[in-house]
């Protein structure tokens, strides 16, 4: 039996909600992940911050390796010069691994290097190579990288913390990125990360995305399971409105 690749799993279930755990109860992470699984979430978003590219420090490969969950591991590297570090994150179980060109002297080389790496969870599952872009980085920075990536992740906040406000210009950046992908000869997934809440997730989903990252709106310290279910339903609503051409108010 052929195993679907991580890319195929994302594409077939697009748009997928990837839940960030920055504001989860990290000392009870097993039960936090279990509630995501129960809610129907398929992907967990792991923000790696190094205290250099990002003001805050979070987790590294041993933490990612310790996660026991069938959820796809969406590893967002907000770290300086990942060239010699990505292999450790792949070995730790990344299914999706996103780097930032703003943090790399050799973004193209890092992506090339990842092309030859095997998914540690299952070698047949493949890796999804992502490129994340900060709100202040022109989308043109993606053009020379389009042949070596499977995911574009538009940041709707500056890297740093959960719970920041969605930057409005993200909407036009998503539209532009969608045009860029359509004009390329490749199949590329498009995602947005940061500031996605109960109030805007349906409208954001209607922009035409494959991956929607949301963190503090799910792990709000109160009702994570109900929040996760709400977000999954709201995404379906956003997609329906996109298909029917009915605009959702911002």
Which residues of this chain interact with ligand DX5, rule CB under 6 A? 20, 22, 45, 47, 76, 157, 159-160, 162-164, 193-196, 213-217
- Count Cβ atoms within 10 A of the Cβ of residue 103 and give its class: 0-12 exposed, 13-18 middle, 19 or more buried: buried
Q: What DSSP letter does each residue of 212-224 carry, written as one string?
A: EEE-TTT-SSS-H
Active site includes 47? yes
Choice between 4 and 134, CB closer to ligand DX5: 134
Please count the CA atoms within 13 angstroms of the CA of 151 that sit on its side-chain side.
33
Contact 235, 212 (CB under 8 A): yes
50, 74, 95, 193: the active-site residue: 193
| Residue 193 binds Zn ion, judged by CB under 5 A | yes
Q: Which does 73 bind (CB under 5 to 8 A by kind): ligand DX5, Zn ion, none?
A: none
| Residue 47 binds Zn ion, judged by CB under 5 A | yes
Active site includes 147? no
Output the residue with the shortest Cβ distance to ligand DX5: 215
47, 50, 74, 95: the active-site residue: 47
Contact 223, 231 (CB under 8 A): no
CA distance 200 to 194: 11
**Least distance to ligand DX5 from the beta carbon of 19, Å?**
9
Query: Kind and range of the H or E element at 231?
Result: helix 224-244
Binding site for Zn ion (CB under 5 A): 47, 76, 193
């Amino acid at each position: 039996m052929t195993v679907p690749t991580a890319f195929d799993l994302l594409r077939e279930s697009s748009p997928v909600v990837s839940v960030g755990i920055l504001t989860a109860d990290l000392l009870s992470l097993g039960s936090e992940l279990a509630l995501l699984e129960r809610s129907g979430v398929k992907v967990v978003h792991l923000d790696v911050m190094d205290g250099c590219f990002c003001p805050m420090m979070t987790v590294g490969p041993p933490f990612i390796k310790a996660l026991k969950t069938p959820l796809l591991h969406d590893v967002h590297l907000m770290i300086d010069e990942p060239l010699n570090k990505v292999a450790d994150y792949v070995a730790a179980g990344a299914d999706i691994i996103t780097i930032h060109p703003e943090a790399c002297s050799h973004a193209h080389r890092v992506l090339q290097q990842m092309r030859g790496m095997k998914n540690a969870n299952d070698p047949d599952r493949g890796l999804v190579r992502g490129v994340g872009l900060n709100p202040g980085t022109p989308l043109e920075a993606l053009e020379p990288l389009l042949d070596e990536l499977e995911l574009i992740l538009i940041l709707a906040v500056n890297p740093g913390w959960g719970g920041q406000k969605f930057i409005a210009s993200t909407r036009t950046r998503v539209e532009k990125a969608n045009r860029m992908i359509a004009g390329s000869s490749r199949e590329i997934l498009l995602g947005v990360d940061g500031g996605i809440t109960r109030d805007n997730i349906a409208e954001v989903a209607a922009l035409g995305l494959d991956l929607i990252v949301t963190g503090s709106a799910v792990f709000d310290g109160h009702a994570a399971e109900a929040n996760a279910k709400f977000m999954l339903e709201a995404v379906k609503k956003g997609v329906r409105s996109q298909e029917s051409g009915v605009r959702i108010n911002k």
